[in-house]
């Protein structure tokens, strides 16, 4: 039997370093995505949509890290890999492919 579970995110905690130490910037989302399903994230600017998308691929913005929760892609714990392992993993799967959206300021 093939496991249809593609992505599972359970309460990731993302922190950013500032002059007074690590501060929580994001916590408290739980979701699952099965093969063949499509997921869209909506919300106000600064709500954490991009942060969730990056974390789902095991990445964080500069100065940040994933300090808790679980993020599993096809059974692989994405938040527990080092950069070299991530480059190898994302190069052979669709986990490293994302559509980055933004505004053009003229």
Q: 43: which strand partners?
A: none
Average pLDDT estimate for 34-47? 89
Q: Are 13 and 67 in contact (CB under 8 A)?
A: yes
- Please tell me the predicted confidence (pLDDT) of residue 74: 85
Report the C-alpha gap between 36 and 30 in whole angstroms. 19
Average pLDDT estimate for 47-53? 87
* Domain 5-96 classification at class level: alpha beta
Of 30 and 106, the structure prediction assigns the larger pLDDT to 30
pLDDT in tens, 9-31: 999 899 999 989 999 988 888 99
- Please tell me the predicted confidence (pLDDT) of residue 24: 92
pLDDT in tens, 64-87: 888 899 998 888 887 655 444 444
């Amino acid at each position: 039997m093939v496991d249809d579970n593609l992505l599972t995110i359970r309460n990731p905690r993302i922190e950013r370093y500032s002059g007074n130490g690590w501060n929580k910037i994001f916590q408290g989302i739980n979701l699952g995505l099965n093969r063949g399903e499509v997921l869209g994230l909506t919300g106000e600017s600064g709500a954490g949509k991009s942060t969730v998308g990056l974390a789902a691929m095991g990445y964080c913005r500069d100065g940040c890290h994933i300090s808790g929760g679980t993020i599993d892609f096809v059974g692989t714990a994405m938040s527990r890999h080092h950069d070299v392992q991530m480059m190898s993993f994302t190069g052979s799967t669709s986990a490293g492919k994302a559509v980055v959206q933004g505004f053009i300021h003229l």
